[in-house]
Structure 1
Amino acid sequence: MEVVWFVFFAVLLAGYFALEGFDLGVGLLLPVLGRTGGNRDRMVAAMAPYVLANEVWLVAVAGTLFGVYPLLEGEVLFGLYPLVVAMLLCWILRDAGLWFRRRLDGPAWRGFWDGAIAFGSLGLSVGWGMALYAAATGFESSPVHPVGLMLGMVVTLLFAFHGWTFLGWRTPGVFGVTRSGRVLLVSALVAALPALGVLAGAMPYLLEHSAPPATLNVLSVMALPFAPIMLGAQVWVWRTFRPGKDAFRLPSFF
Structure 2
Amino acid sequence: MEILWFGVLALLLIGYFALEGFDLGVGLLLPVTADRDRAIGAIGPFVLANEVWLIAVAGVLFGAFPACEHALSANYTAVVLLLVSWVVRDMGLWFRRRLFARAFWEWVIALGSLGVCLAWGLFLAGLAGFSFPFGLLYGLLIAALFVLHGRRFLDWRLTGGGSPLVTGALAAVPALVPLVGFAGAVVGNAAPSATLTVMTFMVLPFVPVMAGAQIWVWRAFGKGPVPTYF
Using the size of structure 1 for normalisation, the TM-score is: 0.87
Match of 2:63 in 1: 67
Match of 1:179 in 2: 161
1:82 to 67, 71, 77: 77
How far off is 1:253 after superposition? 2.6
Q: Distance in 2 between matches of 1:161 and 1:21?
A: 9
How far off is 1:82 after superposition? 2.1
Q: 2:87 aligned with 1:95, yes or no? A: no
Q: Is the 8 A contact 2:78 2:120 kept in 1?
A: no
Q: Distance in 2 between matches of 1:13 and 1:48?
A: 21
CA RMSD of superposed structures (Å): 1.3
| Sequence identity (%) | 52
Alpha-carbon displacement from aligned partner over 1:14-44 (angstroms, at most 9, x marks no partner): 000000000000000001224xxxx111110
Query: What SS does the aligned partner of 1:191 have?
Result: helix
Q: 2:155 aligned with 1:159, yes or no? A: no
Uncovered stretches (5+) of structure 1, i.e. residues with no partner: 173-177
Q: 2:45 aligned with 1:49, yes or no? A: yes
The total of aligned residue pairs comes to 230
Q: 2:170 aligned with 1:170, yes or no? A: no
Uncovered stretches (5+) of structure 2, i.e. residues with no partner: none
Q: Distance in 2 between matches of 1:170 and 1:33?
A: 15
Q: Distance in 2 between matches of 1:253 and 1:116?
A: 17
Q: 2:95 aligned with 1:115, yes or no? A: no
Match of 2:4 in 1: 4
1:190 to 170, 190, 193: 170
Q: Is the 8 A contact 2:20 2:51 kept in 1?
A: yes
Query: What SS does the aligned partner of 2:47 have?
Result: helix
1:40 to 19, 24, 36: 36
How far off is 1:223 after superposition? 0.6
Alpha-carbon displacement from aligned partner over 1:190-249 (angstroms, at most 9, x marks no partner): 000010111001011111111111111111111101111101100000000112x112xx
Q: Distance in 1 between matches of 2:45 and 2:134?
A: 35
2:204 to 208, 211, 224: 224
